[in-house]
């Protein structure tokens, strides 16, 4: 084996991470001996890196990079390590200024957090969700006593991340993408929805809007108003939630903290224990963690599983027992469509590649090959445009509803203000306005979403999606129409993708059947505004189907709640999870 | 438009910085991808560079080359990270022969714009590959599946897959170099 062959062999293993110590030494020896091989190695390594970059070079990922970067911008210039830039000044005359003192960085707009918190709470209704518990054995806890002095964990400013979110809307800024690092000691005002934060030691906190919170350290969350459900598994004990009147320290493993706009703090321990300390400077914004001195009283009130207390500080600190309600604890975000991926071209997403959904609490990415396609078997439109996609059609127009494209499909089906309560009529004479689809194979009802619908939307349309009804094709006892008004992925969701350019076909008259869809003359009109594809999961249980029931098709109608119509460009069934037997009915 | 965005950022419009990020993320990441030695997270360095530029924006003189300023920051961020890695005791055993790293550092003086051009040529070269060859690139760099999986899918041995990837990389390298040479750029 000559040097080149040996190099090729070692290099392949090197790029795959399979080179052992002897191999690295061998590679080093070859490169030291032969300058041409060294040049070749450097060329190939740079090519390897570029291939990785090209592979991830699509608009969605680049947009994710932009969002992630913006999410890291500090609000307070003191958060940034000044020394790094002083080093830059010393090294490069191009950057250097004579004055290397920290200069005034542009500051983000400041706002009165308390005023906004009060407004948020006053304007938004907080929904209550019920969660069922499985009782588990309580974890071992240290004896009750004064808080042990401990060295604050080293703070990694970039380590607390947004793990997931559901309909989260933040005040004054775009929604954070999943995976974004949260800026430390910066106020986040969650107007509505839910976010789950992941802390590096393993703790997680699900925060429900409306809420105002800050990440103080990688083991400490400040909650000025709102509710959070904390899970601190083994290894994350000591995780803290600071409220205006209390410091809640986890001793394993689950508890909720609910802070009212008057700073009353309710703590409910679901599992394990938590120690509650009084904030010495209660009434002010949640204090920074200990740095040698303590901002909290060192005497703890210990709560164990099943305990619930309310803490207030009006003149004096008080703690009162309240009824324990396990339903206040949220174990996970609701089942929903989490994201999707698509091919790209002409400036945006085109064909669906996969859908990521949370079903029955499990997040799973489903490639398009496993999705169940549907075809349109009935269409009666509202007015105007009924088709979108390419400029011209070579085959049947109705096939636009059957492909995987997010930019081609049947749009603006007819609707009804009142949901259907009987079978839709799928005949030209007296046909029901709307669109019926049949799945290529039956969709089996299980936990969570069973069908996903994609809707074209632009910024002039309702940001949460166009409300629509979804009905059985054949009603029977127990079945009903379900109305969806808010999509899982809205126009503001970071996971919602911009779409490639497409044409909308304007029809000369209303279309009352699929046959008319094929024959009525239409004119293509290129869309100049940017569209996005919203997505929502449809749970067949919401239509009254039992677990395991098989569904052949569905009927869709716009809800006629406004002047906008739903554009259901793609309706797909999710595959059977395989665990539920097909013991149900087939419709 | 860039100067206008920079001015707005200075006036407190944080969202305007997105214009800057969108304008430079591709060339910056391309350059960092080529310069960064093994073990360096390119996107992490790119983001740190943008954050640093944002925080020190008041020091930048509008009307001068923001690109040069940003890439200088990125060079420093990369050097800091490289130094940190080098100090890890077993870095060279785990990540890279030091000769390779030094050769990459030596190439750090190349103009960043060349790497944007190289990326574009690479994309063009990829499109000239037949599907039976391009699938290996897709498997390795998009799906990131193990060699054993590639072998199963292509009904070849792992050794044959390694050889195929070697040949493909050589082919792409020569293609990019030829295009750069034709353009008059350095290869």
Q: Which residues on chain A are in Cβ contact (under 8 Å) with B110?
A: none
Q: Which residues on chain A are in Cβ contact (under 8 Å) with B75?
A: 92
Q: With an 8 Å Cβ cutoff, are B119 and A88 in contact? A: no
Phi, psi of A74 (to 5 degrees): -75, 150
Instruction: Label residue A79 exposed, middle or buried (CB < 10 Å: 0-12, 13-18, 19+).
Output: middle
* pTM of the complete model beyond 0.90: no
Q: Are A200 and A160 in contact (CB under 8 A)?
A: yes
Across the interface, of A24, A48, A77, the residue whose CB is closest to B55 is: A77
Q: Are A508 and A522 in contact (CB under 8 A)?
A: yes
Cα→Cα distances A234→A187, A353, A418, Å: 28, 38, 52
Hey, is the C-beta of B1 within 8 angstroms of any chain A C-beta? no
Give the model's confidence band at A401: pLDDT under 50 very low, under 70 low, under 90 confident, else very high: confident
Query: What does the pLDDT read at residue A294?
Result: 39
Within a 10 A sphere around the Cβ of A187, how many other Cβ atoms? 18
Element at A216 (helix H, strand E): strand A204-217
Average pLDDT, chain A: 80
3-class state of residue A119 by DSSP:
helix
Percent of chain A with pLDDT over 70: 80
* Span of A12-21, A425-434, A573-582 with lowest mean pLDDT: A573-582
Within a 10 A sphere around the Cβ of B112, how many other Cβ atoms? 20
Backbone dihedral region for residue B144 (phi beyond 0: left; psi -120 to 50: alpha; all else: beta): left
The shortest C-alpha distance from A8 to chain B (Å) reads 7
Interface test with B, best of A26, A88, A107, A344 (most B CBs within 10 A): A88
Percent of chain B with pLDDT over 90: 30
- Name the token pair of A381: 């439109």
ipTM above 0.90, yes or no: no
One-character DSSP codes across A309-323? EEEEEESEEEEEE--
Q: What is the pLDDT of residues A227-247, one digit of tens each?
A: 999 999 887 878 999 998 899
The shortest C-alpha distance from B39 to chain A (Å) reads 11
Q: How far apart are CA B25 and CA A70, in angstroms?
A: 12
- Name the token pair of A113: 């957090």
Interface test with A, best of B76, B77, B107 (most A CBs within 10 A): B76
Q: Which residues on chain B are in Cβ contact (under 8 Å) with A50?
A: 30, 33-34, 115, 118-119, 122
Contacts of A454 (CB under 8 A, 6+ apart): A340, A352, A406, A533, A534, A535, A568, A569, A570, A571
Phi, psi of A13 (to 5 degrees): -65, -35
DSSP class of residue A424 equals P
Whether omega before A253 lies within 30 degrees of 0, making that bond cis, reads: yes
Query: What does the pLDDT read at residue A152?
Result: 37
DSSP class of residue A476 equals -
One-character DSSP codes across A151-206? PPPPP-TT--EEEEEEEEEETTSPPPPTTPBPPBT--EEEEEEEEEEE-TTS-EEE
Q: What is the pLDDT of residues B59-113, one digit of tens each?
A: 888 878 888 889 888 888 888 787 777 666 555 555 566 778 778 877 776 777 7
Q: Are A450 and A442 in contact (CB under 8 A)?
A: no
Q: With an 8 Å Cβ cutoff, are A51 and B93 in contact? A: no
Phi, psi of A205 (to 5 degrees): -140, 125
Phi, psi of B165 (to 5 degrees): -65, -40
Closest CA to B27 of B120, B121, B113, B118: B113
Q: How far apart are CA B113 and CA A460, in angstroms?
A: 38
Q: What is the pLDDT of residues A136-187, one digit of tens each?
A: 333 333 333 333 333 333 344 447 999 999 988 887 667 788 888 888 888 8
Hey, is the C-beta of A198 within 8 angstroms of any chain B C-beta? no
> For the residues A34-53, what does the mean pLDDT come to?
89
Return the bridge partners of A267, or none: A257, A309
Highest mean pLDDT among A80-89, A196-205, B78-87: A196-205
Interface test with B, best of A66, A97, A343, A345 (most B CBs within 10 A): A66
Print the SS3 string covering A479-490.
CCCEEECCCCEC
| Residue found under tokens 């945006």 | A348
Residue A407 has pLDDT above 70, yes or no: yes
3-class state of residue A295 by DSSP:
coil
> For the residues A345-352, what does the mean pLDDT come to?
87
Query: What does the pLDDT read at residue A137?
Result: 38
> For the residues A51-73, what does the mean pLDDT come to?
84
Across the interface, of B21, B99, B126, the residue whose CB is closest to A31 is: B99
Within a 10 A sphere around the Cβ of B187, how many other Cβ atoms? 15
Q: Which residues on chain B are in Cβ contact (under 8 Å) with A49?
A: 33-34, 36, 42
Print the SS3 string covering A440-473.
EEEEECCCCCCEEEEEEEECCCCCCCCCEEEEEC
3-class state of residue B115 by DSSP:
helix
| Residue found under tokens 């259901």 | A568
Hey, is the C-beta of B69 within 8 angstroms of any chain A C-beta? yes
Q: How far apart are CA A97 and CA A102, in angstroms?
A: 11
Instruction: Find the distance separating the first CA and the last CA of chain B, reported in whole Å.
Output: 33
Query: What does the pLDDT read at residue A434?
Result: 95
Across the interface, of A50, A62, A70, the residue whose CB is closest to B118 is: A50
Query: What does the pLDDT read at residue A549?
Result: 95
Q: How far apart are CA B35 and CA A298, in angstroms?
A: 52
Residue A287 has pLDDT above 50, yes or no: no
Sheet harboring A374-380: ordered strands across?
A374-380, A434-444, A550-558, A468-472, A482-484
Q: What is the pLDDT of residues A495-513, one digit of tens each?
A: 999 999 899 999 888 889 9
| Residue found under tokens 């009903």 | A480
- Name the token pair of A364: 């799973």
Residue B54 has pLDDT above 70, yes or no: yes
Contacts of A368 (CB under 8 A, 6+ apart): A351, A352, A353, A354, A355, A404
3-class state of residue A40 by DSSP:
helix
Highest mean pLDDT among A332-336, B2-6, B66-70: A332-336
Residue A376 has pLDDT above 50, yes or no: yes
Cα→Cα distances A365→A358, A362, A455, Å: 9, 10, 20
């Amino acid at each position: 084996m000559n040097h080149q062959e040996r190099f090729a062999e070692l290099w392949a293993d090197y790029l795959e991470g399979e080179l052992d110590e002897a191999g690295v030494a061998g590679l080093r020896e070859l490169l030291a001996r032969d300058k041409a091989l060294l040049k070749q190695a450097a060329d190939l390594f740079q090519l390897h890196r570029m291939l990785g970059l090209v592979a991830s070079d699509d608009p969605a990922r680049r947009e994710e990079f932009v969002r992630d970067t913006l999410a890291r911008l500090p609000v307070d210039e003191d958060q940034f390590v000044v020394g790094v830039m002083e080093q830059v000044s010393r090294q490069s005359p191009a950057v250097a200024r004579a004055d290397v003192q920290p200069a005034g960085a542009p500051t983000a707009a400041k706002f009165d957090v308390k005023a906004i918190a009060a407004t948020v709470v006053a304007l938004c209704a907080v929904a209550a969700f019920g969660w069922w518990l499985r009782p588990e054995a309580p974890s071992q806890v240290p004896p009750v006593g004064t808080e042990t002095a401990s060295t604050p964990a080293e703070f990694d400013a970039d380590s607390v991340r947004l793990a997931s979110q559901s309909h989260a809307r933040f005040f004054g800024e775009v929604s954070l993408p999943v995976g974004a690092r949260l800026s430390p000691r910066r106020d986040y005002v969650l107007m509505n929805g839910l976010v789950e934060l992941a802390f590096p030691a393993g703790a997680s906190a699900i925060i429900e809007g409306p809420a105002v919170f800050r990440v103080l350290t990688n083991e400490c969350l400040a909650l000025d108003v709102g509710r959070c459900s904390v899970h601190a598994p083994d290894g994350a004990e000591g995780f803290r939630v600071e409220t205006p009147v209390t410091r809640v320290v986890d001793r394993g493993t689950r508890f909720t903290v609910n802070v009212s706009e008057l700073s009353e703090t309710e703590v409910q321990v679901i599992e394990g224990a938590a120690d509650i300390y009084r904030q010495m400077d209660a009434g002010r914004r949640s204090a920074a963690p200990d740095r040698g001195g303590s901002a909290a009283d060192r005497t703890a009130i210990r709560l164990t599983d099943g305990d619930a207390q309310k803490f207030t500080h009006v003149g004096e600190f008080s703690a009162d027992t309240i009824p324990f309600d396990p339903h206040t604890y949220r174990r996970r975000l609701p089942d929903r469509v989490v994201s999707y991926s698509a091919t790209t071209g002409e400036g945006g997403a085109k064909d669906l590649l996969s859908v990521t959904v949370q079903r029955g609490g499990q997040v799973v990415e489903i490639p398009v090959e496993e999705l169940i396609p549907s075809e349109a078997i009935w269409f009666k439109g509202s007015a105007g445009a009924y088709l979108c996609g390419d400029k011209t059609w070579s085959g049947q127009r109705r096939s636009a509803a059957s492909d995987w494209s997010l930019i081609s499909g049947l749009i603006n089906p007819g609707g009804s203000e009142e949901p259907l309560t009987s079978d839709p009529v799928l005949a030209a004479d007296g046909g029901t306005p709307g669109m019926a689809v049949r799945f290529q194979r039956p969709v089996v009802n299980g936990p969570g979403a069973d069908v996903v619908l994609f809707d074209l939307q632009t910024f002039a349309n309702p940001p949460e999606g166009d409300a629509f009804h979804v009905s059985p094709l054949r009603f029977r006892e127990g079945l009903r129409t379900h109305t969806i008004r808010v999509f899982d992925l809205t126009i503001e969701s970071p996971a919602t993708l911009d779409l490639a350019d497409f044409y909308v076909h304007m029809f000369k008259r209303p279309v009352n059947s699929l046959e008319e869809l094929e024959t009525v003359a239409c004119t293509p009109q290129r869309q100049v505004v940017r569209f996005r594809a919203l997505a929502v999961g449809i749970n067949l249980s919401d239509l009254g189907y039992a677990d395991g029931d098989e569904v052949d098709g569905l009927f869709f109608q716009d809800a006629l709640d406004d002047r906008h119509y739903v554009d259901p460009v793609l309706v797909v069934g999710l595959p059977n999870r395989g665990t539920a037997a097909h013991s149900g009915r087939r419709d | 438009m860039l100067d206008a965005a920079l001015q707005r950022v200075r006036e407190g419009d944080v969202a305007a910085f997105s214009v800057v990020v969108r304008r430079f993320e591709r060339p910056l990441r391309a350059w960092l991808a080529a310069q960064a030695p093994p073990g360096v997270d390119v996107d992490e360095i790119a983001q740190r560079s943008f954050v640093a530029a944002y925080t020190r924006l008041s020091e930048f003189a509008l009307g001068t080359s923001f690109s040069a300023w940003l890439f200088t920051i990125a060079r420093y961020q990369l050097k800091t990270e490289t130094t940190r890695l080098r100090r890890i005791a077993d870095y060279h055993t785990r990540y890279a022969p030091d000769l390779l790293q030094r050769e990459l550092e030596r190439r750090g003086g190349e103009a960043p714009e060349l790497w944007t051009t190289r990326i574009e040529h690479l994309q063009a070269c990829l499109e000239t590959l037949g599907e039976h060859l391009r699938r290996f690139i897709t498997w390795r760099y998009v799906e990131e599946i193990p060699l054993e999986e590639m072998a199963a899918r292509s009904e070849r041995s792992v050794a044959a897959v390694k050889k195929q990837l070697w040949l493909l990389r050589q082919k792409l390298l020569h293609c990019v170099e030829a295009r750069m040479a034709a353009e008059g750029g350095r290869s």
